[in-house]
A and B are shown apart, each in its own frame.
Chain A
Amino acid sequence: MVIVDKSKCDNCGTCVAMCSPAALRLDKAGIAVSEKCVECGACVKICPIGAIRSGIKENHA
């Protein structure tokens, strides 16, 4: 699963539109990532301020 840095995230919603399996959602608490994430990287690439990073390393550490 990707990791969202909530201190950076600006709640703009751009990443939500990029996610094929609909693993991202935005609500009043900010962006949440669900188990549906397949680590495709689309949201990481698109985030205008770099608030999302790949979680592959962290998840498997």
Chain B
Amino acid sequence: MPDKKHFNVVVVGAGPAGANAARHAALGGLSVCLLDRLEAPSHPVRCGEGVGLKGMSLSVAIKPEWILSAIRRVKMISPSGTLVELANIGESYIIDRSIFDSDIVKSAIEAGAEFRNNTNVDAAERLTNGKYACHIGSEKVTADCLVLADGVESRLARDLGWNTRLSPSNMETCAIARVSDPSIAADAIEFHVGNRFAPGGYAWVMPRGEGIANVGLGILGSHSISGGADEFLTAFINHRFPNRTDLTNRNCGGVPVAPWLDPLVRGGVMIVGDAARQVNALNGGGIAYALHAGQLAGEAALLAFVNGKFDETKLSIYQKKWAKGHGKNQRITNDLKNFLITRRDDAFYDRIAESLKKRKALGYLSVFLRTFAGHPVMMWKTMKLFG
């Protein structure tokens, strides 16, 4: 049987955003093709693997088999080493992304989507008949509706009229590794803040279990030099884990830290996930937003097919729902990030940590209110985000 060439919906990129978009479109009975250049998504895993229950539960129930550890404490460590411990943090987990990502893809396939792996889309274009073509070598796949979920590169969107080029101050350049060390507690995330460890970002430790963690950091692109993230990571690991017993899985990545891309819809194309900068700019978390945006896009595609006829104007519901939901908070995270980067230095973080170190049962809200004290607009935004 020759491969099918035309689909109602083609989704490029099978990360959480694309796979969930494919799943929801297929659940409603559309013909859906999900493409990824990799053998399986998230190979290698470029992620701390941390998620909050609140954000995730809008789109999926967290399965026990995804969970590597349950987080009870967050340790914030100031540049000079003062520890502030947060206990009031909401339910959060470290999940195994290779299992999680392949489960979301599986659920898309079960819903009826066709998954083509090892398939790189070289270019995308709108045809004269109004349909879209994805070029894969000398082959092409066409669709009425196209979903771009191609991650941080977000290159295909440029073929279709978006300017997705990011400025250095809107990109965290990251390095990551897996470290084994007896001092790692399975129930505690660590954030090491300040320019000392990661200029314009922070270093983090996300435990995959007792004695083993994802360790990484992000440097703001405008503060970076060639190879900077990797060198800072080596320095951080030597500082925090002098007695480590193992260091594996070193790789790197980028996290867009910018307001979400507007518009999210052009003609019959929707853009979702990292490609659309749907990332929490304060903590770099993008899994929950990606899943949710994918779901909204998949549902919008469904609405746009009425009796088998595609009406692209109906896709605008995707942007409306995103803007009213997670989209509002995403913009706030970006405002807070910008303020922190331009107005706060290592000495400031040390002072805040000193003033908070004895407090019990702290939560993010109290810490950020203290951080933005004297700046009513930022405090108000903090209340909206964490209140």
Contact = CB atoms under 8 A, between A and B. Distances in A.
A49 B252 contact: yes
A25 B123 CA distance: 10
Interface in A31-61: 42, 44-53
B227 A50 contact: yes
B114 interface: no
B120 A28 contact: yes
A48 B217 CA distance: 10
Contact of B225 (A14, A22, A26, A45): A45
Interface residues of B: mostly helix, strand, loop or mixed? Answer: mixed
Contacts of B254: 12-14, 17, 46, 48
Nearest to A16: B153
B159 to A, nearest CB: 9
Interface string B219-259: 00100111111100000000000000000000111101000
B168 A46 contact: yes
Contacts of B251: 10, 12
Contacts, number: 92
A16 B46 CA distance: 16
B253 A14 contact: yes
Contacts of B272: none
B226 A17 contact: no
Contacts of A22: 155, 158, 165
Given A17-B154, A18-B171, A12 B122 contact: no
B168 A42 contact: yes
Interface string B157-189: 010000011101001011100000000000000
A17 B164 contact: yes
B155 A46 contact: no
A17 B152 contact: yes
B37 interface: yes
Contacts of B171: 14, 17-18, 46
Interface of B: 37, 46, 118, 120, 122, 151-155, 158, 164-166, 168, 171, 173-175, 221, 224-230, 251-254, 256
Interface of A: 10, 12-14, 16-20, 22, 25-28, 42, 44-53
Given A12-B253, A48-B229, 12 more contacts: A13-B254, A22-B158, A22-B165, A28-B120, A45-B225, A46-B224, A46-B254, A47-B227, A48-B253, A51-B227, A52-B226, A53-B226
